[in-house]
Amino acid sequence: MLMRRRWAWFLALTTTISMLAGIAAAHDHPDPGAGEQEDALHGPGDPSAALAELDAAFADVVSSGPNAKVIKNLQLRGRGERLVENATTDVWAYDGFAYTGTFNSPCGGDPEAGVWVWDVRNKNKPTFVDVIESPVGSRSNDVKVATMGSGDILVHSNEPCAGGPGGFEIYNVDDPTNPVHLAHVQTDDVNTFLREDLGFIDFGVHNLFLFSQGDRDYVSAVVESEFGNFQVFDITDPTDPQLAGFWGAEELRMVELGEDPSTVPDLDADDFDLILELDAYLFSGFGQSQNRFLHDITVTEDGMEAYLSNWDAGLVLLDISDVSDPTVVSVALDPANGSRDGEVNSHAAWPSEDGSIVVETEEDFDAWVTVAPLSNFTFGESPWNTIPGVGVSTSAGDDFEANQTGNMVTVTATSVTVNSGPLAGNVYPAAEGAGNQPKISDTGPLEAEAVWVGRGCDTDNFGVPGNDAPGIVDPHLNDPAGKIAVVRRGACTFSSKMGAAQDAGAIGVVVANNLTNDTPWGGIRIWDYSDPANPELASIFDTTCSAAASPIPECDPFGTYSVHNVIVESRGSKTLAYVSWYWDGMLVLDVTDPYNPVEVARYFDNSEAFLESNGGNPHDFWGVGKEKGSPWIYGSDRNGGLYVFREQGSGSGK
């Protein structure tokens, strides 16, 4: 009986972990070039002094976002173009160079997959240098660079996107134009039973952070394992990295249960019930996306403390003065007041220089679900899958349900366009379902009448209005023969719906989502850490779009308005947070008073000229980078590559 439970648990656990590991076009490159030295660009002296004076002169000018008439803008000064949709991830800037990562496509093995290196010594004209290629079958999502005892060290994460390795890579970049590979590090589960008996090894790494303590150098890694997600490696000798310490949110549950958290590595088959209890804890949480796994790390400049954005476990502050034995200082967690919809989703965090203020971001994509197209679904590998199928939103389904016949449409892999009929002129975003059915991206668009057939779970009901399938309320069912069947999600599998529509003679299927609970996007939590052992939620901050519980006219209903990454910096008497906010752009917040955050700058551009320059796609900012003490801000656009900004004073920004 125990072996049966263990095998069932193993299958469920490995499936879930493989899902976690997934979390998370050719073009010409600019010619490489050294560019002008930064000194030549903005003259001698402290480049931030003039900016500080400018801030003081216009302290009463507040940005109100894209619709403002008078704002303090972020001025776009330079771009490193990479016009590949959803390709660019994070950005890190260091010593005149910027580094941007790559998402799933292209995956490792493609020469354009990996870390893109940019020379940004001339801020007005970033120049492409080269690509540090990802291992075959993996993506390089995160990249960090720092000067360490052995030189300038670059680390980048590996996450499998086509069966490649996990872990991370280490390079020397004393000469950023000629990176030298030093080591590949494999990351495994810290529990001996999971690692050795069940084979929980070679997990992907999502984020990294470099730090030093005295004469020892370290990299901390977010490992997508079951236990011990926070792992610290000693890279004092970067050619021979060694695991030095670890911690995981399962230890919080161990303490609650009165167990010794130091025994996590030694739990074995005799502790199987406890392992199951810890597993259940890690896969529970708040709101829609319920897990307590680590997402990101920020380590203080002295290397003694680490802020762990631990999703629904909250923001965990660890004392890592002894990296072999991290200890919990505090957990910042307030689901009731820290979010507009009860989510936690601790995604990233950054402390002020003195540690008294910490800005935390809440990433949340479970918003405005009624207008988001059905995606990440499959029709399966069924023998009857011989017609194409796409998914659309709940609201699109509502339109077709209210206007069931007479709509002539063109269906592509990304849209359903109504050419004539009651819904003429409407264009609905779509996503092509996975499976072995013909793909519209291969066969070409479908053109026919779209007819509503309800749940589409029983072929016998098509063309028999008022005749319901057993247990299913579908009062109006139309004959889809030679047409495109519009079906509602639910009551039976996507494969069953396709099979029923196909048997009835349909030439394609459009599946409408059935989600009806719109919620806000993720915003910012600002914590008062005056007492690090007892952090207090000072305030939350949202943009107009992220705060909206449902789509509003000011915001694109198909946009992404969650916050993403943040860097906090002190400048004089001010504490500023630099934030990447997907479709809302790049923002700067004054959080000097954590109880009263003020937006003081934003870059946002949805003009036709910008869209044309960005490959037809909106900006979609993932990462924010900043070199300390510099007025330059770096943003990574998932669709457009690298951006270089500088703050400027009041005005229209024209």
CATH code for position 410 = 3.50.30
As a whole-number percent, the residues of the chain with pLDDT over 70 amount to 85
Check pLDDT > 90 for residue 476: no
Check pLDDT > 60 for residue 8: no
108 and 250 in a single domain? The answer is yes
Quote the pLDDT of residue 462: 56
Quote the pLDDT of residue 465: 46
Whether residue 31 lies inside any domain: the answer is no
What pTM was estimated for this model as a whole?
A: 0.84
Quote the pLDDT of residue 26: 26
493 and 627 in a single domain? The answer is no
Whether residue 429 lies inside any domain: the answer is yes
Compute the residue count for the chain: 654
Quote the pLDDT of residue 57: 43
Whether residue 617 lies inside any domain: the answer is yes
570 and 499 in a single domain? The answer is no
Higher pLDDT, 344 or 52: 344
Whether residue 360 lies inside any domain: the answer is no
The region that residue 490 occupies, defined by phi over 0 for left and psi between -120 and 50 for alpha, beta otherwise, is: left
Quote the pLDDT of residue 42: 23
The region that residue 314 occupies, defined by phi over 0 for left and psi between -120 and 50 for alpha, beta otherwise, is: left
215 and 154 in a single domain? The answer is yes
Quote the pLDDT of residue 104: 77
Measured between alpha carbons, how far is 42 from 156 in angstroms, rounded to an integer? Answer: 31
DSSP 8-class letter at 432? E
468 and 572 in a single domain? The answer is no
pLDDT in tens, 211-254: 999 999 999 999 999 999 999 999 999 999 999 999 999 999 99
Which domain covers residue 433, as residue numbers?
A: 389-512
337: confidence class by pLDDT, cuts 50, 70, 90 = very high
pLDDT in tens, 264-312: 999 999 999 999 999 999 999 999 889 999 999 999 999 999 999 999 9
324 and 433 in a single domain? The answer is no
Q: In this structure, are strands 346-351 and 357-362 parallel, antiparallel, or unpaired?
A: antiparallel
pLDDT in tens, 40-49: 222 223 333 3
286 and 402 in a single domain? The answer is no
260 and 126 in a single domain? The answer is yes
Check pLDDT > 80 for residue 29: no
Whether residue 170 lies inside any domain: the answer is yes
CATH code for position 179 = 2.130.10
What is the count of structural domains for the chain? 2
Quote the pLDDT of residue 233: 99
Quote the pLDDT of residue 385: 87
130 and 264 in a single domain? The answer is yes
As a whole-number percent, the residues of the chain with pLDDT over 90 amount to 74
Bridge partners, 180 (sequence order): 172
Measured between alpha carbons, how far is 481 from 261 in angstroms, rounded to an integer? Answer: 63
Contact 222, 229 (CB under 8 A): yes
Mean predicted confidence (pLDDT) in 348-373:
95
Check pLDDT > 50 for residue 4: no
494 and 616 in a single domain? The answer is no
Check pLDDT > 60 for residue 52: no
Q: How far apart are the first and last CA of the chain?
A: 71
Read off the amino acid at residue 370: T
Contact 581, 640 (CB under 8 A): no
**255: part of which helix (H) or strand (E)?**
helix 250-256
Quote the pLDDT of residue 422: 97
Check pLDDT > 80 for residue 177: yes
Whether residue 535 lies inside any domain: the answer is no
Can you say whether the dihedral through the CA atoms of 113, 114, 119, 120 is positive or negative?
Answer: positive
Read off the amino acid at residue 469: A
Q: In this structure, are strands 508-512 and 389-392 parallel, antiparallel, or unpaired?
A: parallel
The total of other beta-carbon atoms located within 10 Å of residue 327's CB is 13
185 and 253 in a single domain? The answer is yes
193 and 320 in a single domain? The answer is yes
Read off the amino acid at residue 35: G
Quote the pLDDT of residue 43: 25
SS3 588: strand
